[in-house]
Structure 1
Amino acid sequence: MTFRQFAFRNVSRNKRLYTAYFLSSMFTVMVFFTFSIFAYHPVLSENSIHSSASTALSVSKWLIYVFSFFFVLYSMSAFLQSRKKEFGLMMMQGMTTRQLRLMIFMENMMIGLAATLSGIGLGVIFAKGILLAGENMLSLNEQLKFYFPFKAICLTLTAFLLLFVLISMFISVVLRSGKLITLIRADRQPKREPKASPLLSLLVVLLLGTSYFLSLRASGMEVVVLLAPVVIMVTIGTYLLFTQLSVYLIRKLKGKEHFFWHKTNMLLLSDLTYRMKDNARSFFLVAIISTVSFSAIGALYGFQSMLNGSLTKDNPYLFTYLAKDGDSKEPVHTQLIDQRLSESGITANKMELKLNYYKAAEGGQTLVLVKQSEFNHLAELLGTETVQLKGDNAAAVDFGLSRMGEKMLNQPVQLESGIVIEADKAVVSPAVRGLSGYWVVSDELLARLAQPVQESHYYAWHGSIGQQGAIATGAKLTNILPNSENYEFYALEYQTSRINESFGPLMFIGFFIGIVFFVSAGSFLYFRLYSDLDEDKQKFKAISKLGLSEKELGKILNRQIILLFFAPIVVALVHGAIALTTLSHMFQYSLFRESLLVLGLFFVIQVVYFFIVRMFYTRQIKSALAG
């Protein structure tokens, strides 16, 4: 048997431990390769319109590459820890340190090469489907046809082979420094019972409690100001949560004799303190990485939903045209819009409203007054709130979230004619797109006023969203009627499609990066679980001789695996829920549905992953007891 065959058989014998590492690495390679396929696609790389998307994809794949370096490094460290007895046995049989380093180098390169080739192979096989999905996610109007990604294959193969070579060389340096001996002898040294500081445990409550309180109370730009300090407090609090507070609570539970001696609690709690301390860094890492994944995907999905939702809600018109004072082409332009809508078969109701501008007697303020009958006509067609005025009272109207109308309440303003305008109610209405802080007055009051200093005519075409030809018609009219100082034209569905085209690459990139982070976090948990497998086999084999039933064994294993898999994930879900709630406060737009969907989906994936891993892990333990 040659040395290469020996290294290959080592990999095949340890396939249980290497499986998650191989699959995670393969998935990471596949994502990198996918980004490369898009970045080098002729439609994106050779078209200046989509150059920003191509650049964003290129940058993102290198972010994935940097993350892959640290992921592989962590994975290899976990393997060294779990195989310390095996390495010690080899060295006792005469293997030199140099041969051991060479063996680890060859094993890592075998797995790395297999993961790289498999990731590229799967990417090529599913390239057509990936391009089709990406075409929709990127909101492209052009078709991404299949092409043979020669550049992407060469780049991915070179980049990841180099990555695995660098990692293997780094591991050799670690072994040369003598750390391997420490790992070999670590299991022979008795573990000290972990201790926790009550003050540091209390600090966890203060840090996380303060962070949550500040985040949930913040709104608007306060969120941006608090971002850095809150992130720092949450990070420190999460680390202390697993290293201090969890150990402290377990020790308190062990002190309650009634609970400690109840059924199998003694077996669980006796080992739980050591497990929490040993796994604290892994739990912290998984919690932070998962929080980033949840927050990134939830924020991107919510932001896209908010843009589309608020655009439609705040501007329910297919087209709007504002003819300012002095617009000599107003009749020609409105007739052109009517004609194009008729030619495209778009059904819409045309509405008109006049904006009257008056000067205040003092301060140089200009007031925009709208006739009550005209405003209510638009409101009735939109199905929104109408305004009912009493006497000469007015209503202050906002378009969106500025809340200017609330500031205008009960603030009388005298016009140059001597008439006083005062609002006794504030209304938020999309009746006039983009205009906030105007006054709705009764028809009688407006009739008593002198000629306004300036007039603008607002036209709106209201119809159902999603009509065929609306985007194309909007694009043509936008090119014909570019906004100027005399008029403003806005096509809702065309502008929405442009936003989606710009936001599509971010959504696509954020989704894949978030998934890579989450898969890697799951792999970390898998490594930690299986690194303790041999120790668990010996422990439960000894306990089974004392009369531990199979049902009790299953209950203990379930609790241990549940704790390992869901302790960091639950913390990440809470962090993510707080972050997304804070984001909704920042934009004053509810992201509850989006947050529930994203967090719920990740939780379901984790539950499925838990059942799969539990099945294989329990089978390993029971087979050891049967032997």
Structure 2
Amino acid sequence: MRMTFRALAIRNVRGGWRRYAAFLLSSSAAVMIAYLFASFVAHPDVRSGDIIGGAAVAQGLIACVYLIAVFSFFFVLYSSSSFYKTRQKEFGLLQLLGMTPWQIRRLAFAEQLIVAACAIVCGLGLGVLFSKLFYMGIGELLRTEAPVRFLIVWPAALWTAVGFAALFAAVAAVSLFGIGRKPVIELLRASRKPKRPPLASAWLTALAVAALGGGYVLAYMTNLRTVLMLMMPVTGLVVLGTYFLFTQGCIAALGRLMRSRGYYWKGVRLLALSQLSYRLKDTARMMFSVAVLFAVVFTAIGTVYVFHQDIKDQLLVNTPFALSIEEKGLDTRKVVDPEALEALFAKHGIEPEVETRTPLLDVTANVNLYGRADSEAALIEESSWNALAAELGLPAADVESGRTMFAYPFERMGRSGEETRGESVDFVVADGTLTFVSSGTIYAAATNHGKLLWILDDADFEEALGLVPDAERTVLYAYDWSGWESDAAFAKEAQALAAPELPRSLVRERITGYQDVQQFASLTLFIGLFVGVLFFFAAGSLLYFKQFTELEEDRQTYRQLLRIGVSPKELRSVIRAQIGSVFGIPFVVGTVHALFAYKMLGNVMQTNVWASALSVVAAFALLQLLYYAVTERAYMRQLGIAEAG
């Protein structure tokens, strides 16, 4: 049988499938996600406008496709370059047998295209297989009346196949420039070159500690006012510190352990730490890249997930009632006819569990708030505030005669400037002015309308009401019930009940806003999870790939260790320590970075983000353990010691 370049390339790929496995898996995942996104963008129903909201989603998906393409380019470039470095001895033998450098490049290029073709075919096949589920998820998030039709979107498949084929071909071409440029003798001796002992610089180790410490301190201190100013310095310090942590700090820490005779000379630690120090030296830059990638993935997905979880809580804080109507006049109902509203409730089967009627008095408050000497506000009597507070779980007020308390509804916007305790406050009411002394601030929203409320003693409030006629007084009617999240049709019809000549802002409901923001957040989370998981698996693939690129060299080392008396059980302990460090250290470092990023996020959002953030880290920790277990098992099998001893 005549051996052709194609046959030789196929045989090489089949023989080294384990080292290609992780690369193929990540590349296929990238192709699959790119096809899913492109298929929705090019779906006939989206292009025709039949799917409401589909065009906006398509724009986001297009941006994600470009992001995946850029990421895939660098991932494939790194993987290809590393593949070729580990095959220098093989290339040297081929040259020794008579192949020219140009022929070796052709062979390597053919192998790369074979793997690329497999990745594209597998990715497209998986994309078509899971596209129905993807469409169902998008349709559910967009709340489409009819599900998105399942069909194979051939233009999307063509774009994806051609795009990734061009990407793989370009990367393969770039990677080939280094092949065949070294003398044969140097290629053959590449794996036999003695490794220099790993050394660490005390100054660069100190720089790593200082940079990470500075970045963490700045992150811990960041708040809403300083986030834009500090974000870039924090990122720069953490990235710099991470680089020197892996290239210098880890080696310095291992060197310190190795100098401790009581620890180093016990059991197999001498062998494990010695091997690990050389392994960390060789993989420092790769582990740095993976750690940063982990931090980015955890932070991005955690941020989106926290935002998704926080939406409803904040909506409930800022709009405490499902529906609220502001009427002008003590007993008039000019904005919404109450009988029409009751009929609408009955039509949709809604029985309000909370109904409130709260009289207010619109005033101008002359007090320094955020640099302003006057602000539009409203007065509310103490008993009315406490009734609302009992319904909403807000702090109660206790106001003495001649005093007032400020109810500030926008706590997340900051507390600087609204602390008014002890200040004199003038309320301009009609043609008169009432003066009170502030007793402090309650940070809570008791209305949907975002009014700045000043709470008065009941007697003082009645005195203020006497300054204006009944027709100039304000009354808020508010309603709340469980299950309001799904009452979008009611909300739309309730808005339509408002008198057309009056401002629409007099009717405030939280249902429409909740569904709009929830839809956006859910779509962002849905898309972010796809991209984040892809990046995560790519990082894991780099770790997997690094183990198998050094397999032959490690096999020879471990065989020699078995010959000099190291037991298979001890050898497995050494290997687990090495693989565990390569998988564990970047994950732990990336997690610590993400935890400080979550602290920044919590400071900016002024909320507790830890429950949501830690659940994201825990989920990825399980995936990382799975990746580690698969890698360790496959590696042990290749070394032939999986079941030994």
Give the TM-score, by structure 2 length: 0.91
Residue 113 of structure 1 aligns to a residue whose secondary structure is helix
Instruction: Please report how far the alpha carbon of residue 452 of structure 1 lies from its aligned counterpart in structure 2 after TM superposition.
Output: 4.4
Matched position secondary structure for 1:330: coil
Does 2:311 align with 1:307? yes
Match for residue 237 of structure 2? Answer: 233
- Cα deviations across residues 83-134 of structure 1 (Å, max 9, x unaligned)? 2222222121111111111111111111100110111011112221221123
3-state SS, counterpart of residue 143 of structure 1:
coil
Q: Tell me how many residue pairs correspond in the alignment.
A: 626
* Structure 1 pair 598–19 and aligned structure 2 pair: CA distance change class (3 A): same
Indicate the residue corresponding to 1:440 in structure 2.
455
Q: What whole-Å deviation, never above 9, does each CA across 1:188-219 have from its counterpart, x for those lacking one?
A: 33222222111111111111111111111221
The CA distance in 2 between the partners of 1:249 and 1:313, in whole Å, is 49
1:260 aligns with 2:225: no
Pair 1:144-2:148 in alignment: yes
Q: Which residue of 2 aligns with 1:70?
A: 74
Q: Output aligned runs, 1:183-582, within 5 Å.
A: 185-323=189-327, 330-348=334-352, 349-359=354-364, 366-401=376-411, 402=413, 403=415, 406-415=418-427, 417=432, 419-435=434-450, 437-449=452-464, 450-452=466-468, 455-466=473-484, 470-478=487-495, 481=498, 485=503, 487-582=505-600
Amino acid at match of 2:89: K
Identity %: 30
Cα deviation, residue 566, structure 1: 0.6
Structure 1 residues 567-576 or 480-489, which shifts more?
A: 480-489
Alpha-carbon spacing, 1:549–1:329, altered in 2? closer, same or farther (3 Å)? same
2-structure distance, mates of 1:484, 1:95: 86
Measured against aligned partners, the alpha-carbon deviations of 1:45-72 in whole angstroms (never above 9, x if no partner) come to 3227431111111121121011111111
Alignment partners' CA distance in 1, 2:417 and 2:562: 74
* CA 1:326–1:29: 2 relative to 1, 3 Å: farther
Residue 121 of structure 2: which of 109, 117, 122 is its match? 117
CA–CA separation in structure 2 for the residues paired with 1:295 and 1:361: 44
Q: 1:103 to 1:418 in 2, by over 3 A?
A: closer
> Equivalents in 1 of 2:289, 2:626: separation in Å?
21
Letter in 1 for 2:520: S
Cα distance in 2 for partners of 1:587, 1:197 equals 40
C-alpha RMSD of matched pairs (Å) = 2.7
Counterpart amino acid of residue 40 in structure 1: A
Q: Which ranges in structure 2 are unaligned for 5 or more consecutive residues?
A: 368-372
Displacement of 1:376 in angstroms is 1.9
Matched, 1:160 2:164: yes
Distance 2:171 2:589 in 1: 31
Deviation readout 1:20-41 (Å, 9 max, x if unpaired): 1111111110010111121112
Instruction: State the alpha-carbon separation in 2 of the partners of residues 509 and 445 from structure 1.
Output: 55
What's the secondary structure of 1:126's corresponding residue? helix
Q: In 1, Cα distance between the equivalents of 2:11 and 2:435?
A: 92
Separation in 1, partners of 2:416, 2:325 = 23
Q: Secondary structure at the match of 1:407?
A: coil
How far, CA to CA, are the matches of 1:407 and 1:10 in structure 2? 74
**Alpha-carbon shift at residue 42 of structure 1 (Å):** 2.9
Distance 1:188 1:220 in 2: 56
Contact 1:139 1:504 in 2 (8 A): no
2:33 is the counterpart of 1:31: yes
Structure 1's 414 and 556: CA in aligned 2 closer, same or farther, altered over 3 A? same
Give the one of 62, 79, 97 matched to 2:101: 97
Change (3 A) 1:480 1:71: farther
CA contact (8 A) 2:35 2:156 kept: yes
1:577-600 CA-to-partner distances (Å, cap 9, x unmatched) read: 111121011010111111011011
Partners of 1:180 and 1:465 in 2: CA distance: 75
Distance 1:179 1:599, change over 3 A: farther
Kept after mapping to 2: 8 A contact 1:81/1:183:
no
Question: Matched residues in 2 for 1:561 and 1:166: separation?
Answer: 32
Equivalent-residue separation in structure 2 for 1:540 and 1:465 (angstroms): 64
Contact 1:45 1:54 in 2 (8 A): no
- Greater shift, 26-35 or 422-431, is seen at 422-431
CA contact (8 A) 2:323 2:479 kept: yes
